[in-house]
Structure 1
């Protein structure tokens, strides 16, 4: 038994035919009728021509896939199809409003080192080791704790049992001497 709405709505009958037998001819008729109307309606609603075309095609594809969900007693074919298109557009606008997720750049591998950079780094490291060996033991120790063990000056002062001012003075003297010895590395 058919509902009264189904009997009076020729497009509803086409959707039922798609649901019952995957009727390609019925779908072609629906597509020919609704796709241009959907596109025009979506463009009037603010979608670009390309986006409106995509939404219209996606809506019609949804009609094909979900025709069995159509209930002629609840809505006419036109209302059902336009609601599908409207919901697709709303979903797209919501996705766009969230924006593009931030990329975690920490997972991108570093580019391989160039051979001349590797050579320069090795040469510089050797020169720095040599320069550090020329420092007085107290200054070298403060530099080592600060730069190689990444300790704060206050932490170094506590570890060595020295006043903070002494640690800072030793660091300043060491850096002045290292700049003089390694001036061309910067």
Structure 2
């Protein structure tokens, strides 16, 4: 991802007398945003990096809506946290790629938790109503969210594919490009954790 995002000089520079004069300096643009909230600088940074982020996410298998969301939220984070960028520690492309990676993980975790909560709602649809349903439902939802939040990203992903999308263990392994044994191990750990934490719901 970083390599693709870093294609700046060859695309945005002109050669003069054997010298390469850079016309696009992401470090300077981020600095301008941090110092004065320079909207023109942000527009240039957005126009350069947002399409690249979206394209990379699409090529990595992300749905178009997710790719668009991650790209936009990444650039908004750049706007809000420009003052935290340190060119001595990482290049602009590396920093922005790191933000994008973290946003994708956060969104995947959020969406997976939502779908898992919906599964419990579906399972409860046929139960008879009780006077304390509202209280019970609130307590149940809080317990489910808490239990799911404790799963690792890897465990969440295999649970989603196996139980919410109906994939076989072999299909999960193929989709995630991991060994079948790893799929079974992650599922076993995830379900053991959920069973233990949700014992009170039975």
TM-score scaled to structure 2, two decimals? Answer: 0.46
**Computing the radius of gyration over CA atoms, which structure comes out larger, 1 or 2?**
1
